């Protein structure tokens, strides 16, 4: 499944009565562990990156890593969320690099 928006994910969760945690991510090992756990329980997932994580990992690296996770786990609904955007420019670059929330 392609990436979905936070609204799509939360609406589905509300309709079916379940909660969805959000996980901060800034490296491959975290991404793989989160997606493997989501696959094990067939659950959607919210990955999020803070401004600090985006600075640490670099937006290009992070975007490609999320693309890879999306391809590796095509059956897991995935929302990529900008955690604590502080200004319009932060949100604009998040959109540019494939964040869906």
pLDDT digits (tens, 9 = 90+) for 35-88: 999 999 999 999 998 888 888 888 888 889 999 999 999 999 999 887 777 778
3-state secondary structure of 42: coil
Read off the pLDDT band of 1 (50, 70, 90).
low
The set of residues, in sequence order, having a beta carbon less than 8 Å from that of 16 and lying 6+ positions away, is none
Joined tokens for residue 9: 């994910």
pTM across the whole model? 0.84
List active site positions: 83
Tell me how far apart the alpha carbons of residues 83 and 86 are, in angstroms, rounded to a whole number: 9
């Amino acid at each position: 499944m392609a990436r979905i928006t936070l609204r799509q994910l939360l609406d589905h969760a509300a309709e079916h009565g379940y909660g969805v945690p959000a996980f901060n991510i800034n490296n491959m090992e975290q991404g793989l562990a989160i997606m493997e756990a989501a696959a094990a329980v067939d659950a959607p997932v919210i990955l999020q990156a803070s401004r600090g994580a985006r600075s640490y990992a670099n937006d290009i690296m992070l975007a490609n890593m999320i693309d890879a996770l999306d391809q590796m786990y095509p059956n897991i609904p995935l929302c990529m969320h900008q955690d604590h955007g502080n200004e319009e420019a932060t949100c604009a670059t998040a959109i540019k690099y494939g964040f869906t929330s």
